[in-house]
Structure 1
Amino acid sequence: MYRRAAAAVAVVLVGLVVGCARQAEPQPVPSRVPGPAEAYLEAALGVTSDDAAAGALHMEEAVAACMAEQGFEYVPDTSGYHYVDAAAIDPPPGSREFAELYGYGFAALPEEMRAESTPGVNPNDAILGAMSPEELEAYQQALWGDAVGADPDAGGEVDLAGCFGAAREQVWGDREEDPVRLALEEEITRVDAEAAPTDAAVSAAAGRWSACMSDAGHPGYGTSPDAEEAAWDRWTAFNDAIAADPALGQEGPDGLILGQAGLADDEAALATADWDCRAETRYDDVWQEARDRLQQEYVDAHRAELDAWVETFS
């Protein structure tokens, strides 16, 4: 089933590097059992917290080496990277208890999943502060390439280039240009978005789920992903409003932004009803059966290619 949080790994790595710092949107860690095609992604690309921490350090060191080659000083700094280990989260994402407390994990998150950087001294701040505007522009261009000054809200993807992009490719591989991975991910998306939802058994289960949700006081949702998408849209609209008018971002006595607690309560009520109705109607079981069958068809047709691909990562 489609989940906004679905990913191939259970470790979240958020990099906040000088010149391009950004707070990541909160994303729940996936809890569902991977399908046959997703299992290949996990086998090839899955990392542990230790892997991610080591990779972050190697990437920072590669950035520093690249910048030195271009005549710039860059001090490796991993303090802005945040790691989330799904096994350490209690209650676990995907459980009813998590839904009751945190909904889908948008307006509220447990402490372990918050990708918040602790204010501190970045060793590169002094380097940047001593530069003229012209030197700073050249430095940022070397560090980020064409990503400098790009507006992620203007549409399209912002591809990292410069030394940071080169370091990421050096440490993690050029996966974006991997045709086997791209084809595999496209098939997983196709199954989730097109093939599985139109399966007869899934359609019948969705009808039962929708009726259950109406009885629980949440009418108007055709499928479980619709409910989660609605919660995400409300969270996004909340943040967009604050971005347009920073005065709306005032904190209340509870430490939350005014209005966030109410939004989180509504999300938790919706997510809990969603969980109960999925359990009552066996929605997840039916979806998984259809998804596994459809993904297995792809795996069977490309098994040799997929096995060879996974082997390159071992």
Structure 2
Amino acid sequence: MNVRPALARVSAVAALALLLSSCSGSDGDSGAAADAAEQTSPLSEYLDALYGGDLSPEEQERRFAEEQERTEELIAGCMQEQGFEYTPNTQSAGFVSYEDVEWEPDDRDWVSQYGYGAVTSPYTEQPAPEEEFVDPNADYVASLSESEQTAFYEALSGPMPDEEDLAEDGSYEYDWTTAGCQGAAQHEVAGEDLSQSEEFASLFAAIDELYTGMPTWPGMAELDAEWAACMDAAGHGGHATQVDAQNSVYDDLNAVYEDVAVSEDGTSTGEPDQAALDALAEREVELALADLGCREETDYRDRSTEITHEVEEQFIDDHRAELDALVAAAERD
């Protein structure tokens, strides 16, 4: 039985995105919508073109379905060349739209229920698909010998990474050229991942450096210091930045899942300690509520938004030619 994999700590940019998220779902008026537009990160307007964030949910769903169908056709042809039967599996992954899910980290009722949305969130509470997934290749694979099954899956998705290729947390760097028919098909359909391309390597390195240095942005250290002093007074000290508070929850959550027993092939053989999850969820809400109170007291949202806009606009001025080339390349794909 599989359990949730280890969760990534919140990056500076991800945490800032949460802080800038709109609370428009709570009142639905036009003023809230205008506020949401005003809070949009200047740099995100460039990156949305790369990741499809500028598409409507309907457009995203349509593009996903078309790409999924084409990918599966290519996989089937590739597997046939490898000497295997393969039925295109368009049910293997469905498009999920969270358009109606409310993510409101600045709303006290929401935070009282979900905290940071780590242990539980409105996303994890979404109903399961009405149709149960059925692998169209299951019967064929079952008819193969054990060695043939191994060969089938290696042809499909590539060999398992060697131990020396694994990081300490069990992750490894994905390489489509060693990911079998799936990797080749996905690469052909999706095209080159521009964020990993040599052409834009220096640009994305600069973006990473920009957000990694967020605590040193003009005015940010002072804001974080005010927030940290408030948290200390509220009995939740020990966090230098707002991101650190969130990460403390994700670190503890990962520790709970790391205690789950696994088999030799890495498959989970147990369930996480529910009592530990319940206790962490309680701590998460308590910490997040204190965090929210301190963000309100220090006007963290508006001040961090102003700081972010100034820093990102300067970054755009300094890298405009590279960013425009990135958008142009994304539109060609």
TM-score (norm 2): 0.73
Among 147, 154, 172, the residue aligned to 1:141 = 154
Whole-angstrom distance in 1 between the partners of 2:190 and 2:143: 32
Give the equivalent residue in structure 2 for 1:127: 140
Q: Report the Cα distance in structure 2 between the residues aligned to 1:110 and 1:219, rounded to whole angstroms.
A: 28
CA separation of 1:234 and 1:23: change in aligned 2, threshold 3 A:
closer
Q: Does the CA-based 8 Å contact 1:141-1:148 persist in structure 2?
A: no
244, 268, 271: which one aligns with 1:249: 271
Whether the 8 Å contact between 1:26 and 1:105 is mirrored in structure 2 is no
RMSD: 3.3
- Which structure's CA Rg is the greater one? 2
Q: What amino acid does structure 2 have at the position aligned with 1:94? A: P
- Alpha-carbon distance in 2 for matches of 1:243, 1:230: 23
Please state how far the C-alpha of 1:154 moved relative to its aligned partner: 3.6
Q: Does 1:186 align with 2:205?
A: yes
- 8 Å CA contact retained: 2:227, 2:241: yes
Shift, 1:215, TM fit: 2.5
1:300–1:231 CA distance, 2 compared to 1 (3 A):
same
Among candidates 283, 286, 306, match of residue 300 of structure 2 = 283
43-52 vs 203-212, which deviates more?
43-52
1:181 Cα deviation after fit:
4.6
Change (3 A) 1:112 1:231: closer
| Maintained 8 Å contact 2:218/2:307 | no
Q: How big is the shift at 1:26?
A: 6.7
Corresponding residue of 1:254: none
Q: Which residue of 2 aligns with 1:310?
A: 327
State whether residues 256 and 272 of structure 2, in contact with CA within 8 Å, keep that contact through their aligned partners in structure 1.
no
Aligned residues: 287
1:26, 1:109 within 8 Å by CA — same for their partners in 2?
Answer: no
Listed one character per residue, the Cα deviations across residues 122-156 of structure 1 (whole Å, up to 9, x for unaligned) are 11111211112222222122111244677574454
Mark the CA change 1:94 to 1:84 in structure 2 (over 3 Å): closer, same or farther: farther
Match of 2:186 in 1: 168
Measured in 1, the distance between the counterparts of 2:41 and 2:183 equals 31
Alignment match, 1:98: 110
Report the alpha carbon displacement of residue 259 of structure 1 after superposing the two structures with TM: 2.9
Write out per-residue CA displacement over residues 203-258 of structure 1, whole angstroms, 9 at most, x where no aligned residue.
1111110111122221111110000110100100011112369897378xxxxx33
Alignment counterpart, residue 43 of structure 2, candidates 31, 34, 37? 37
* Corresponding residue number in structure 2 for 1:55: 67
Residue number in structure 1 paired with 2:238: 220
Structure 1: tracts of 5 or more residues without a match: 1-20, 252-256
Q: Is the 8 A contact 1:101 1:268 kept in 2?
A: yes
Q: Which of 211, 218, 235 is the equivalent residue of 2:229? A: 211
Q: Are the counterparts in 1 of residues 50 and 327 from structure 2 also a CA contact under 8 Å?
A: yes
Query: d(CA) in 2 for partners of 1:209 and 1:112?
Result: 30
Identity percentage of aligned residues: 30
| Structure 1 range deviating more: 162-171 or 55-64 | 55-64
2:173 to 117, 132, 157: 157
Rounded to whole Å, the distance in 2 between the matches of 1:312 and 1:199 is 30
Which position in structure 1 is the counterpart of 2:255?
Answer: 237
Q: Does the 8 A contact of 1:82 with 1:116 survive in 2?
A: no
8 Å contact kept, 2:43–2:313: yes
Give the secondary structure class of the aligned counterpart of 1:243: coil
Q: What is the rounded CA distance, in whole Å, between the counterparts of 1:170 and 1:38 in structure 2?
A: 26
Distance 1:213 1:163 in 2: 51
Secondary structure, aligned partner of 2:43: helix
- Structure 1 residues 221, 174: CA separation in 2 closer, same or farther (over 3 Å shift)? same
Contact kept, 8 Å, 2:111 with 2:288, in 1: the verdict is yes
Of 280-289 and 241-250, the range deviating more from structure 2: 241-250
Match of 2:216 in 1: 198
3-state SS of 2:259 partner: helix
Structure 2 distance, partners of 1:260, 1:45, is 33
Alpha-carbon distance in structure 2 between the residues aligned to 1:177 and 1:200: 30
CA contact (8 A) 1:106 1:232 kept: yes
